[in-house]
Amino acid sequence: MSIATDPDRAPARSHLYAMGWTDEDMRRPKVGIASTWTGTMPCNLTHRELAAHVADGVRRAGGTPMEFNTIAVSDNLTMGTPGMRASLVSREVIADSIELMGRAHQFDAIVAIVGCDKTAPAAIMALSRLDVPSVILYSGSMMPGRWRDRDVTIQDMWEALGERSVGKLTQDDVDDLARHACPGAGTCAAQYTANTMGAICDFLGLSPFGVSDIPAVAPSKNEAAVRIGEVVMDALARDARPSRVITEASLHNAIVSVAAMGGSTNSVLHLLAIAREAGIALEIDDIDRICHQIPIVAGVKPAGPHSAADLWRAGGTSLVVRRLLDAGLLREDVTLVDGRTLAEVAESAQEAPGQQVVKTVADPVKGPGALAVLRGSLAPDGCVLKLGGKPDFVFTGPARVFDGEEACFAAIQERRIVDGEVVIVRYEGPAGGPGMREMLSITGALVGQGLNVALVTDGRFSGVSHGLVIGHVAPEAYRGGPLALVQDGDTVVIDSAARVLDLRVDAAELEARATAWVRPDRPVERGVFAKYVATVGSASDGAVTI
């Protein structure tokens, strides 16, 4: 019996009357609208406005909206600080909070409005647990900034720090760039983690193609939000619940989208976590296998020269679908939340005349291999190499070992890192960090200085990061992985074609080091980090907490 008619739920009805509801409102399907609005970052700044538009759409289509909010943590604002440890942890908190609201209020359907990096995977995880008809509205990218006659994004901002350290830019230049790099609301303005996850929402089938691409400040975003309210009511009528939408086929397509658009390494963690929530078998090596076959066709930064707004103008992810379908690289046996087929999406793509952003599979931006999963004596459970379409290579060098990001960043700033070294940053894993900090301050500084080094860590990388970077090394150092045993000067070998990350140290010597190893103390005995350390699993399983 529903809340509208159950005699014993009269006390509950009294609170709904208190919010202005009518009897008719109570009889209609209740649609939860989960917003990740926060006034602490530009990324999700539009969510309250979008939520109001979604609510209008829900009402128009015969439902009763119930808005609620959850948290979000900005990666850019916390980067390089202890606060970055909260970022990946926030994915679990957001997922749990959306799930709890869904379980408490028993919504008939849900719209989740997502933006900054962890909000999309968190929402997908929660919706998968709740399994009521659901739609995700990705709030959209920031426009690029304009500085010295060129488009700039947050990537330029971080690399400017490295350029400052070698005298290419002054502090005044950096400060001036900071005033121009980010012109308004929206997520980081190219194919970094947030936009990678926005595309994953499309390719998984949870967001209607054509909506995620619209930049956050474009007027058409509000119109699209109204439409999302109508779509979720239609999804409710068709019972398009996540268990029917997120399938082995749609996960395949989501991985293809990461590869084809040169997406972020963070997507590996999130895809593994989503698969786990959806009860679909997905191993880290499956992601490598799929990525290995897919060239980069969208020339969006960091793999190409363009911004997310350029991709939108060129034809957006619908055009990417057309290219991939033409080459037979997508599974078509999928359910999209708006009821279309992928062929209909491809048909609807509006390619801008003369656009240079989305190329073809036959003539791609870069060859296959956005990401690669390596294993070996330094990463028995795997790690993720940001290949970025580079040709295969072997890099052999002496280790330079740092316990934590700060020590490494200081060494780079003091010019103590030299070409040819393999920079190891450890005790930054899921439990050891805790929270797998992103190493953008380090990668930005290395790129800015033009150093030819490799970086290996049990932490993560920002989607902005590029260069020879390997993250998510598992098992992590804090849990006794081989990374904990590396010493300065040890030889490390990276072989991308063989998918190998090896530590070339004699077995007896390694055993002696393992015997002598003592786990470093982590001062996180209470609160959210203590709960996280106690429950988080390996990066090779998505760093989930269940």
Q: What is the contact surface with ligand FES in residues (CB under 6 A)?
A: 41, 43, 74-76, 116-117, 187-188, 192, 194
3-state secondary structure of 426: strand
Nearer to ligand FES, 41 or 275 (CB): 41
On whether the CB atoms of residues 36 and 90 are closer than 8 A, the answer is no
Nearest distance in Å: CB 479, ligand FES: 28
Nearer to ligand FES, 43 or 446 (CB): 43
Q: Structure tokens of 465?
A: 């990061």
Q: Structure tokens of 424?
A: 């190891």
Number of Cβ within 10 Å of residue 73's Cβ equals: 26
Nearer to ligand FES, 72 or 110 (CB): 72
Nearest distance in Å: CB 268, ligand FES: 18
On whether the CB atoms of residues 361 and 329 are closer than 8 A, the answer is yes
Which of the residues 90, 267, 462, 540 is marked catalytic? 462
Nearest distance in Å: CB 101, ligand FES: 22
β-pairing, 468-474 with 295-296? unpaired
The answer to whether residue 462 is catalytic is yes
Nearer to ligand FES, 153 or 257 (CB): 153
Number of Cβ within 10 Å of residue 167's Cβ equals: 7
Q: How far is CA 541 from the centre of its chain?
A: 15
Nearer to ligand FES, 38 or 545 (CB): 38
| Number of alpha carbons in the 13 Å side-chain half-sphere of residue 217 | 15
Give the contacts of 225 (CB within 8 A, at least 6 positions apart).
50, 51, 53, 54, 57, 137
Q: Is the peptide bond before 295 cis (omega within 30 degrees of 0)?
A: no
Q: How far is CA 145 from the centre of its chain?
A: 22
Nearest distance in Å: CB 77, ligand FES: 7
Nearest distance in Å: CB 118, ligand FES: 9
Q: Structure tokens of 488?
A: 């300065």
On whether the CB atoms of residues 203 and 334 are closer than 8 A, the answer is no
Active site residues: 462
